[in-house]
Amino acid sequence: MALSNIWIVCEPSNGSFTSTSLELLTQARDLSATQSAITWGGDAALAAVAGNYGATTLYDVGDLGGALPGVPIASAIAALVASVGAPEAIFIPTSYDGRDIAGRLSVRLDRPVLTNVTGLVDVGGLVSEHPVFGGTQTVRARFTNEGPGIFVIRAKSFASEASGGAAASISASPSGDVGSTGTAAVVATHVEDRNGPKLEEADVVVSGGRGLGEADKYALIEEAATLLNGAAGASRAIVDAGWVPYSHQVGQTGKTVKPTVYIACGISGATQHMVGMKGSKNIVAINKDPDAPIFRIADFGVVGDVHKVLPNLIEALKSRK
Amino acid sequence: MTTSFIRRQARAARQRTDIDIDHQTRQVTSITCKVGLVNIIVCVKQIPDPAAPRSLDASHNLNRSGKLILDEADTYGVEMALQLVDAAGTGEVTVVSMGSAHDVAGLRNALAMGAARAVIVSDDALRSTDALGTAKVLAAVIKRESPDLVLAATESSDGYTGTTPVQIAELLGLPSITFAKSVTIDATTVKVDRQTESGYDEVTAPLPALITVTAGVVEPRYASFKGIMAAKSKPLEVLSVADLALGDATGPAGARQEITDVVAAESRAAGEKYVDEGDGAERIVDFLESIKVL
Contact B161 A115 (CB under 8 A): yes
Average pLDDT of the residues in B234-250: 85
Contact B275 A304 (CB under 8 A): yes
Contact A245 B181 (CB under 8 A): yes
- Structural domain total, chain B: 2
The CATH number for B43's domain is: 3.40.50.620
Answer for the pair B223, B108: CB distance below 8 angstroms, yes or no.
no
Contact B258 A286 (CB under 8 A): no
B219 touching A (Cβ < 8 Å): yes
User: Is the domain of B61 the same as that of B117?
Assistant: yes
Q: CA B7 to CA B256: how far, in whole Å?
A: 52
| B255: chain A residues, CB-CB within 8 Å | 112, 144
Residue A249's pLDDT band (boundaries 50, 70, 90)? very high
Residue by residue, DSSP assigns B73-124 as HHHHHHHHHHHHHHHHSEEEEEEEEES--S--HHHHHHHHHT-SEEEEE--G
B58 touching A (Cβ < 8 Å): no
pTM of the entire predicted model: 0.90
Please name the fold of domain A199-320.
Rossmann fold (3.40.50)
Contact A113 B294 (CB under 8 A): no
Answer for the pair A109, B171: CB distance below 8 angstroms, yes or no.
no
Give the amino acid at A114. Answer: L
Contact A300 B287 (CB under 8 A): yes
At B56 the pLDDT is 83
At B11 the pLDDT is 45
A299 touching B (Cβ < 8 Å): yes
pLDDT at A271 over 80: yes
User: Is the domain of B56 the same as that of B166?
Assistant: yes
Average pLDDT of the residues in A215-238: 97
pLDDT at B31 over 50: no
Q: For B39, phi and psi rounded to 5 degrees?
A: -105, 120
User: Is the domain of B96 the same as that of B113?
Assistant: yes
At A289 the pLDDT is 97
At B24 the pLDDT is 56
Answer for the pair A206, A260: CB distance below 8 angstroms, yes or no.
no
Q: For B259, phi and psi rounded to 5 degrees?
A: -90, 125
**Within-domain flag for B291:** no
| pLDDT single digits (tens) A167-214 | 999 999 988 888 889 999 999 999 987 778 999 889 999 999 999 999
Residue B33's pLDDT band (boundaries 50, 70, 90)? very low
Q: Which of A18, A92, A240, A319 best probes binding to B when mutated, by most B CB atoms within 10 angstroms?
A: A240
The answer for B 118-147 residues in CB contact with A (under 8 A) is: 130-133, 135
At A272 the pLDDT is 87
pLDDT at B290 over 50: yes
Chain A, chain B: beta-carbon pairs less than 8 Å apart: 275
**Within-domain flag for B127:** yes
Q: Which of A158, A193, A300 is nearest to B288 (CA)?
A: A300
Question: Which letter does DSSP use for residue A67 in this model?
Answer: B
At B252 the pLDDT is 58
Answer for the pair A269, A254: CB distance below 8 angstroms, yes or no.
no
User: Is the domain of B103 the same as that of B142?
Assistant: yes
CB count, 10 Å around CB of A115? 26
User: Is the domain of B64 the same as that of B189?
Assistant: yes
- Domain residue ranges of chain A, discontinuous segments joined by +: 3-183, 199-320
Taking CA atoms, B50 is separated from A144, A180, A183, A243, A271, in Å, by 30, 38, 37, 22, 9
Contact A300 B202 (CB under 8 A): no
| B159: chain A residues, CB-CB within 8 Å | none
Predicted-assembly ipTM surpassing the 0.90 threshold: yes
A107 touching B (Cβ < 8 Å): yes
Residue B253's pLDDT band (boundaries 50, 70, 90)? low
pLDDT at A305 over 60: yes
Tell me the pairing of strands A89-93 and A149-153. Answer: parallel
Average pLDDT of the residues in A7-22: 96
At B13 the pLDDT is 46
Q: Which of A110, A42, A34 is nearest to A74 (CA)?
A: A110
Answer for the pair A194, B201: CB distance below 8 angstroms, yes or no.
no
Which residues span the domain enclosing B9? 3-33
| pLDDT single digits (tens) B131-176 | 999 999 999 999 999 999 999 999 998 888 999 999 999 999 999 9
pLDDT at A80 over 80: yes
> What's chain B's Rg over C-alpha atoms?
24
**Within-domain flag for B96:** yes
User: Is the domain of B23 the same as that of B109?
Assistant: no
**Within-domain flag for B271:** no
Residue B84's pLDDT band (boundaries 50, 70, 90)? very high
Average pLDDT of the residues in B216-225: 95
Beta partners for B238?
A: B120
Residue A86's pLDDT band (boundaries 50, 70, 90)? very high
Q: CA A7 to CA B83: how far, in whole Å?
A: 42
Question: Which letter does DSSP use for residue A66 in this model?
Answer: T
| A184: chain B residues, CB-CB within 8 Å | 175-177, 203-205, 209
The answer for A 34-63 residues in CB contact with B (under 8 A) is: none
At B254 the pLDDT is 66
Taking CA atoms, A43 is separated from A53, A61, A171, B291, in Å, by 16, 11, 10, 42
Tell me the pairing of strands A282-287 and A300-303. Answer: parallel
A281 touching B (Cβ < 8 Å): yes
User: Is the domain of B61 the same as that of B188?
Assistant: yes
SS3 of A308, please?
Answer: helix
At A91 the pLDDT is 98
Q: CA A188 to CA B159: how far, in whole Å?
A: 33
- HSE at residue B126, side-chain half, CA atoms within 13 A, is 23
User: Is the domain of B46 the same as that of B113?
Assistant: yes
SS3 of A189, please?
Answer: strand
User: Is the domain of B11 the same as that of B147?
Assistant: no
B202 touching A (Cβ < 8 Å): yes
User: Is the domain of B82 the same as that of B98?
Assistant: yes
SS3 of A82, please?
Answer: helix
Average pLDDT of the residues in B127-134: 89
Q: CA B10 to CA B12: how far, in whole Å?
A: 5
Taking CA atoms, A190 is separated from B184, B196, B199, B201, in Å, by 18, 9, 6, 6
Average pLDDT of the residues in A37-51: 97
Q: Least CB-CB distance to B202: which of A140, A187, A263? A: A187
| B256: chain A residues, CB-CB within 8 Å | 111-112, 143-145, 147
Contact B270 A296 (CB under 8 A): yes
Per-residue burial over B17-37, b if 16 or more Cβ lie within 10 Å, else e, is: ebbebeeeeeeeeeeeebeeb
Residue B25's pLDDT band (boundaries 50, 70, 90)? low
Spatial neighbors of A284 by CB under 8 A, at least 6 apart, are A261, A262, A263, A264, A298, A299, A300, A301, A302, B284, B287, B288
Contact B284 A228 (CB under 8 A): no
**Within-domain flag for B245:** yes
Virtual torsion, Cα A102, A103, A108, A109, nearest 10 deg: 60
Taking CA atoms, A109 is separated from A75, A147, B105, B236, in Å, by 10, 9, 36, 34
At B62 the pLDDT is 82
Residue B184's pLDDT band (boundaries 50, 70, 90)? very high
At B17 the pLDDT is 47
A177 touching B (Cβ < 8 Å): no
> What's chain A's Rg over C-alpha atoms?
21
Q: Looking at domain A3-183, which of 3.20.20.70, 3.40.718.10, 3.40.50.620, 3.90.180.10 is its CATH number?
A: 3.40.50.620
Q: CA A231 to CA A248: how far, in whole Å?
A: 9
A217 touching B (Cβ < 8 Å): no
User: Is the domain of B81 the same as that of B146?
Assistant: yes
Average pLDDT of the residues in A214-223: 97
B123–chain A nearest CA distance, Å: 21
At B27 the pLDDT is 55
SS3 of B35, please?
Answer: coil
**Bigger pLDDT: A83 vs A1:** A83
Tell me the pairing of strands B37-43 and B90-98. Answer: parallel
User: Is the domain of B45 the same as that of B159?
Assistant: yes
Give the amino acid at A312. Answer: N
Residue A137's pLDDT band (boundaries 50, 70, 90)? confident
CB count, 10 Å around CB of A3? 18
